[in-house]
Structure 1
Amino acid sequence: MMLERKILVVEDSPVVLKVLNHLLSQNPLFIPVLCTCYDQARRKLEEESFFAAIVDLNLPDAENGEIVDLVLLKQIPCVVLTGNFDDDLRISLLDKGVLDYITKDSRYSFNHAIKVVERLIKNEGVKVLVAEDSAANSQFVRALLEQYRFNVIEVDNGQEALAKLEEDSGIRMLIADHNIALVNGYELVRMLRSNARFQDLVIIGLSAEGDSALSAKFIKAGANDFLKKPFYHEEFHCRVVHSLEAQEMLETIRDLANTDPLTKLKNRRFFFEEGERYLRKANAGFSLAMLDLDHFKVINDTYGHMIGDDLLASFGGDMQGAFPDMLVCRFGGEEFCILAKVCGQELLDRLKVFLGHLRAKEYTGAKISMTCSVGLSCQSIGSFEDLIKQADRLLYEAKRAGRDRIISDL
């Protein structure tokens, strides 16, 4: 269960306050706390803790943006939402440390303010590696990233960056200066993009030198974006967030293509691709089980396909819960597969426990009892497709022997 966050909203316009309250309330993680003046906000800040704040600059009892200083003093990320655009004021507020300066010129302005706050939650678990040989520049980039709640790791040369990326698979983004020592930024990008393991790493290049040719060179090598120094807060944040969101969208699309929509398990296509990949690299024990729900057609005929779908979805969740360290997929219809990087005996023992729980459970509101038959193959007999055929043959034997059992080639 994710933690709810209180968002302080300070705005004297009832209409704007209502809009922001509505938009924030759409996100179940947010608890809007509404204030119409500086003094009310001051009291709330003394009484409660806040994740972020969205504030207007001109309040009835504080007309010169005093609310921003108050919020920043409490070290709360602050978004300014104002009716007037003043470029000098915008720059001074960004220099103070506000996340964004947004003018109320359209409905999108309100959506953008909410999006900035939502991004803070997403960024909390995102590790960013900064490869920069200038301590001052590294500190500046770190400060900008930490404003947006990123988890920052710093190195000062290309070799150390490579070592850190190899060591920590949780790093999602690399920001690399072109002129770092040992391995420069451009070569670093080329080396990373030649390794399939880093295909989803977001890479942004930096340089104080060069022209548009260097930018193109970086991007052609595989960088997601390139920034020429010096750059300003807004440009940096926009580029970082845009690159990260574009990569997240690609990962979402890929995940949808690999996921069965009913059970949320991996689908047959992904299972074949991953299975072939694993089999090529396998240097230890592995096993494959094929499971089939017994008499499932009777369920559909008796209770209808909606109940049948609910049962499949529930069963898929149970499988994922019982075998979280293994690749579980919906193979098709009421058939499921498990690919395990363990010896056959370990998977056999866990399957026996799972079948025991299955017999004791009732599914859906109709309280349907289910059993399943299992074919378990542990022998390396050629291709991944051959392994599946062997498990399928053993599954057929389990069905023919009376169902609700496991037949293996152990």
Structure 2
Amino acid sequence: MINDELKVLVVEDSPVVLKVLNHLLSQNPKFVPVLCACYEEAKAKIENASMTFFAAIVDLHLPDAENGEIVDLVLSHQIPCVVLTGNFDDYQRLNLLNKGVLDYITKDSRYSFNHVIKVIDRLRKNQDVKVLVAEDSSTSRLFIKILLEQYRFKVVEAEDGREALAKLEEDHSIRMLITDYNMPHINGYDLVRMLRHNTRFQDLVIIGLSSEGDSSLSAKFIKAGANDFLKKPFYHEEFNCRVVHNLESQEMLETIRELANIDSLTRLKNRRYLFDDGEKMFRKAMPNASFAMLDLDHFKKVNDTYGHVVGDALLQAIGQEVLAHFPNLLACRFGGEEFCVAADESVESLMPKLEAFMDSIRVKEFTEAKIHVTFSIGVCGGEFSSLDDAIRIADDNLYRAKRLGRDRIVTD
């Protein structure tokens, strides 16, 4: 689990650069910048027992430590370190990266500062990313593990393809597989093919490795379904770039997919998600399933009286109420001012939650206009053959609730 606040040590003698980094870090609510202008000030902060640093951004040349001593100090306390310097020196860059510095960035443009923040934020995200390393060589496996842990990834190890497959089957939280080609029992290529034939692993990021000289092996791996391929031996800077690039590409795809299933106004799941993934959940829960349609009473009057901006603000607030009252159920915006709850539980279990929702809504004021609202709810909890059938029955009961005077729950 990621901490609520992460202290980032910034050691920089330029007041302008210090101000820029402080501003950029402060834009992310997860980070708390701790600013130092010299080596001694940074040393005092680091040795303060009450302070634990998530990462450090340091300048190499400080007034009281001109030869990069700050890097050794930070690394000696196991604090991940990013070097931000005004001078590019390739020999120095390689030396620092070999010491364990995360990145070596020159202050040559605004992009440089944004890149520093991106590295630190990626480090934060990596804490929740589990990577499986399948490699029969213990030396190689340890080397890869050290590289990954340096960037805060959680690492799981497997000695061969068979063990890797077993660990992937038992641990659904593994998001990336790094696999060698030449392994006993199941080689890396066959492992990739087996995984890609299983839809459960369609989002697993896979990077293949091999020290063999066959130039067609990379194409073979990628055609089998791997996201990328690296030839051993590789330099650790390239390794990290490939890992991060492939992970971010997959995260972007997941974000796009998620956006397709989320209602942009209320942030609830949308109607499309209900009829795709919700259908599977509902079918699995039958016959111990129930369904409710929730309609905001007199919503047209709100738009006519206060305008659509206030109407949208009301729907946003109601969306949060729906989410809060049905956290473990599938709550969706069905359309307009209509919401729904698909429950993998009986109607007897759902009804008290709906009543608590109604009681809570009645006593609240919403938006700056202090609007009071009520709901009409139709529930399906009897016999039905599908999600479509349950929606039809709940909808009929909803209209009965409207005809009976609104602000009530009607069930069959």
Shorter chain as denominator, the TM-score bin is: over 0.9
**What is the CA deviation profile of residues 293-349 of structure 1, one whole-angstrom value per residue up to 9, with x for unaligned ones?**
111112222222222222211111111111111111101111001111112221123
Gaps in structure 2 of 5+ consecutive residues: none
Correspondence for 1:243 among 246, 249, 260: 246
Q: How many residues align?
A: 409
Correspondence for 2:409 among 386, 406, 409: 406
137 and 284 in structure 1: CA distance in 2 versus 1, 3 angstrom threshold: farther
Alpha-carbon separation, structure 1, partners of 2:376 and 2:267: 22
Correspondence for 1:357 among 349, 355, 360: 360
Q: CA RMSD in A?
A: 1.9
Alpha-carbon separation, structure 2, partners of 1:338 and 1:87: 59
Give the letter aligned to residue 309 of structure 2.
Answer: M
Shift of 1:79: 0.6
Question: Is 1:55–2:55 an aligned residue pair?
Answer: no
Correspondence for 1:322 among 320, 325, 331: 325
TM-score, normalisation: structure 2? 0.94
**What is the CA deviation profile of residues 67-110 of structure 1, one whole-angstrom value per residue up to 9, with x for unaligned ones?**
11011011110011122222222222112111111222322222
Alpha-carbon separation, structure 2, partners of 1:287 and 1:323: 13
Q: Is the 8 A contact 2:282 2:343 kept in 1?
A: no
Gaps in structure 1 of 5+ consecutive residues: none
Shift of 1:397: 1.6
Matched residue, 2:389: 386
187 and 84 in structure 1: CA distance in 2 versus 1, 3 angstrom threshold: same
Matched residue, 2:24: 23
Shift of 1:210: 4.0
Matched residue, 1:311: 314
Q: Bigger CA drift: 238-247 or 105-114? A: 105-114
Give the letter aligned to residue 234 of structure 2.
Answer: F
Alpha-carbon separation, structure 2, partners of 1:31 and 1:230: 38
284 and 75 in structure 1: CA distance in 2 versus 1, 3 angstrom threshold: farther
Q: Secondary structure, in 3 states, of the residue corresponding to 1:339?
A: strand
**What is the CA deviation profile of residues 185-226 of structure 1, one whole-angstrom value per residue up to 9, with x for unaligned ones?**
122222222222222211111111143321112112221111
142 and 256 in structure 1: CA distance in 2 versus 1, 3 angstrom threshold: same
Give the letter aligned to residue 272 of structure 2.
Answer: R
**What is the CA deviation profile of residues 132-154 of structure 1, one whole-angstrom value per residue up to 9, with x for unaligned ones?**
11111111111111111111111
Shift of 1:61: 2.2
Alpha-carbon separation, structure 2, partners of 1:405 and 1:361: 17
Q: Secondary structure, in 3 states, of the residue corresponding to 1:331?
A: strand
Alpha-carbon separation, structure 1, partners of 2:283 and 2:359: 34
1:134-283 to structure 2, matched below 5 A, reads: 134-282=137-285
Q: Is the 8 A contact 2:149 2:155 kept in 1?
A: yes
Shift of 1:383: 4.1
Give the letter aligned to residue 272 of structure 1.
Answer: F
148 and 306 in structure 1: CA distance in 2 versus 1, 3 angstrom threshold: same
Alpha-carbon separation, structure 1, partners of 2:190 and 2:280: 28
**What is the CA deviation profile of residues 342-395 of structure 1, one whole-angstrom value per residue up to 9, with x for unaligned ones?**
122211232122222222222223332222111212345444323322221121
Matched residue, 2:33: 32
Alpha-carbon separation, structure 2, partners of 1:26 and 1:357: 35
Q: Bigger CA drift: 371-380 or 317-326? A: 371-380
**What is the CA deviation profile of residues 141-193 of structure 1, one whole-angstrom value per residue up to 9, with x for unaligned ones?**
11111111111111112222222222222111111112233222122222222
TM-score, normalisation: structure 1? 0.94
Alpha-carbon separation, structure 2, partners of 1:225 and 1:331: 40
2 and 361 in structure 1: CA distance in 2 versus 1, 3 angstrom threshold: farther
Q: Bigger CA drift: 61-70 or 33-42? A: 33-42
Q: Is the 8 A contact 2:161 2:186 kept in 1?
A: yes
Alpha-carbon separation, structure 2, partners of 1:187 and 1:171: 19
Alpha-carbon separation, structure 2, partners of 1:275 and 1:49: 44
Give the letter aligned to residue 32 of structure 2.
Answer: I
